[in-house]
Structure 1
Amino acid sequence: MTAQSDGWAGMGWDWTDADDIRRRLDDGADPDSCNGSRPLHRAAVSGSPEAVAELARRVADVNALQDGVTALWEAVVSRKPANARALAAAGADPWRPSLGGWSPGRLSLAGPTPELFPAPEGIALTDTERAAAQEAHRLTVALGEFDYDGTGLACVAAIDAAEAVRRLQAPPVVDDGLLDVLNELVEDPYAHDMDESLHIVGVTSVPGGCVVTQPWGYAPQMPGVLIRLSAGTLCYGLYANPKSGNQGSIARDGIIEGSDLHPGGDPDEDDTSAQVLAAYLYQHNAVAYACAFAGLRLADRRAVTGPPDVWAELPHRDYWSH
């Protein structure tokens, strides 16, 4: 069927109107296809429990896969417990293994609704997974909600601010006039030309390491910065690009191991068990993900938003060819 003949023409992201969905289904809409995707998966994320239940009783297989996951998996990952319960009531299997070996039910044990499904005997989180979930809750609460669009970060394990400044050969900014400009930049990042301020970064010691921040630009995530910071340790770089979304990089012992990553996004089909758990715990929170990846245990968001322990001036060099 085409998008015009499958009965779902005009449907966008809102699948909450159970009466409209029921009417479409009664008129012949395909319960298993909507413009190349599965309606039940869409409703699991963006619908109401009533809409989910209506679709679930009409589909050929309530455990059908799309992009390697079931609708129940989508409901759990999207933190839609009422939709997840509606799917389970319709026969969806909470304990079917999925990405990284996790089942929707076991993954839910690490989230805000661990009582979502009655767990069979022997199904539980490991001590390591439980500790990761507890730290994720603590860290996200400590950071709180804030707008970090346009922010660049380098989260560095096992070194403090003084060592980061030494590695970058970045002298502290002491000029009062420039410090005033920096304070203005934090308040209004677009009040000044980025080219004039891109070489200034903030550096702050935190439990577990340090954070190099630039609330108005991408400098901390430049390869030449990450390589210098990560010598003998681990570093996660983040640029919250206002145009294209969060961009992540991993540097380990002076080598870029990963780039063009998407911290804060959904788990991927090829993710390991640990990566799936981290993606679930830090969904839509790229800053917390970056900090946690490097093992940083921030008590608040000052290291990210400022004022930092020290403002430092990067030497003028090519940071893109390393």
Structure 2
Amino acid sequence: MAVAQKADWSGIGWDDWKSLRLIRARLDAGADPNSELFFHGRPLHAAAERGTPDVVADLVPRVDDVDAEHEGRTALWKAVFANRPDNARILAEAGADPWRPMMNGWSPGRLSLATPTPDLFALPAGQTGLSEDELNAVAEARRLVDALGDFYYDGLSLACVAGVTAAEAVRRLEAVPVDGAEVEELFEDDIFENFDESLEIVGVTDVPGGCVVTQPWGYMSSTPGLTKRLSAGTVCYAMYANPKSGNQGSFTRDGEIVEWDTHPGGGHPSSEDSAEEILNSYLFRGRAIAYCCAVVGLRLTDADAVERPGMWVRLPERDYWS
């Protein structure tokens, strides 16, 4: 006996938007193509971001408005942001407007100029391309992402400090040098057996534009007590890659925390974000370490400062959470 097909979107996950058979069956059973979905937005938004071109093409004639917005974005914007040019072309051919104003100046068409397919849409008269600063930001983002490469960083914390040398960072933290052999011994003895002791040790490295303070095994480099001291007269972006809850970021300026519990590399900008932040959210989607470096102007040439610090130092005993 055939199982009745559900007439709604319950149970549909991200990967299910790649299945034309499944999505078409839901639609044919009566699932509303214009409904608002939990987390996913509208069905066309979800398909534009995560689905295949055939799923997008099947949904397009069923929706009331191909340019309907969800949280300030159209399905076309989602396709561009997710680097899905094939989906974007189908939507544009169906009448979606690449140059519809949204997201603090970043229409789908303007955002596409920062993607690997900048010729996705023809630039109409009266529309501005990317500024020189934006073009430079795109080029630097690509260079930085390539330079850092891919590496495992769950459990790591780091603080990216603009315009401050490693020596000055050590002075501000009132830290003292630690022999590299002592750090190696911590790893050999299973660092988690001496976790509290290991939290006193951080790595510090000079990089173009400032310095990086890192702790590959713990959260200390992202604590307020550390970032407030490092950011005197400058800015610091810090992050802890919490294995349980994801990347937790903060931005500190001149000893004051400006933003807390941010999500670097999360790729979910808001229409209330600045134009620069929306661009960075796209450029560093899924690249949290690169995002932390870029927003304060650090121009790393490799990942050594994060994985293999130039020096190890021991922090003095104090409350690092205030």
One of 125, 128, 131 as aligned partner of 2:130: 125
Aligned-residue RMSD, C-alpha: 1.8
Rounded to whole Å, the distance in 2 between the matches of 1:20 and 1:179 is 53
Q: Secondary structure at the match of 1:31?
A: coil
Of all paired residues, the percent bearing the same amino acid is 58
Uncovered stretches (5+) of structure 1, i.e. residues with no partner: none
Does 1:272 pair with 2:274?
yes
Q: Which moved more, 1:223-232 or 1:25-34?
A: 25-34
Does the aligned pair in 1 maintain the 2:164–2:210 contact within 8 Å?
yes
Uncovered stretches (5+) of structure 2, i.e. residues with no partner: none
Alignment correspondent of 1:149: 154
- Taking the TM superposition and a 5 Å limit, the aligned residue runs for 1:38-117 are 38-117=42-121
The AA in structure 1 aligned to 2:18 is T
Does the aligned pair in 1 maintain the 2:166–2:212 contact within 8 Å?
yes
Alignment correspondent of 1:206: 207
How far 1:26 sits from its partner (Å)?
2.7
The AA in structure 1 aligned to 2:160 is C
TM-score, reference length from structure 1: 0.92
Does 1:33 pair with 2:38?
no
Does 1:167 pair with 2:172?
yes
Q: Secondary structure at the match of 2:252?
A: strand
How far 1:53 sits from its partner (Å)?
1.0
Rounded to whole Å, the distance in 1 between the matches of 2:319 and 2:26 is 59
How far 1:137 sits from its partner (Å)?
0.2
How far 1:228 sits from its partner (Å)?
0.6
Alignment correspondent of 1:140: 145
Give the aligned length.
313
- With over 3 angstroms needed to count, the CA separation of the structure-2 counterparts of 1:35 and 1:130, relative to structure 1, is closer
CA deviation string 1:222-262 (max 9, x = no partner): 10100110111111011111111111111111111111111
- With over 3 angstroms needed to count, the CA separation of the structure-2 counterparts of 1:162 and 1:183, relative to structure 1, is farther
Alignment correspondent of 1:319: 320
Rounded to whole Å, the distance in 2 between the matches of 1:193 and 1:100 is 48
Rounded to whole Å, the distance in 2 between the matches of 1:8 and 1:261 is 30
TM-score, reference length from structure 2: 0.92
Rounded to whole Å, the distance in 2 between the matches of 1:299 and 1:192 is 34
Does the aligned pair in 1 maintain the 2:6–2:26 contact within 8 Å?
no
How far 1:25 sits from its partner (Å)?
2.1
Rounded to whole Å, the distance in 1 between the matches of 2:186 and 2:95 is 57
Rounded to whole Å, the distance in 1 between the matches of 2:284 and 2:68 is 26
The AA in structure 2 aligned to 1:230 is S
One of 302, 305, 320 as aligned partner of 1:303: 305
Rounded to whole Å, the distance in 2 between the matches of 1:244 and 1:225 is 22
Alignment correspondent of 1:228: 229
How far 1:181 sits from its partner (Å)?
2.2
- Taking the TM superposition and a 5 Å limit, the aligned residue runs for 1:253-272 are 253-265=254-266, 266-272=268-274
Rounded to whole Å, the distance in 1 between the matches of 2:117 and 2:293 is 24
How far 1:87 sits from its partner (Å)?
1.1
Does 1:195 pair with 2:196?
yes
Rounded to whole Å, the distance in 2 between the matches of 1:292 and 1:175 is 28
The AA in structure 1 aligned to 2:220 is A
CA deviation string 1:88-143 (max 9, x = no partner): 11111111121122101101111222122122134310000000000000000000
- With over 3 angstroms needed to count, the CA separation of the structure-2 counterparts of 1:174 and 1:128, relative to structure 1, is same
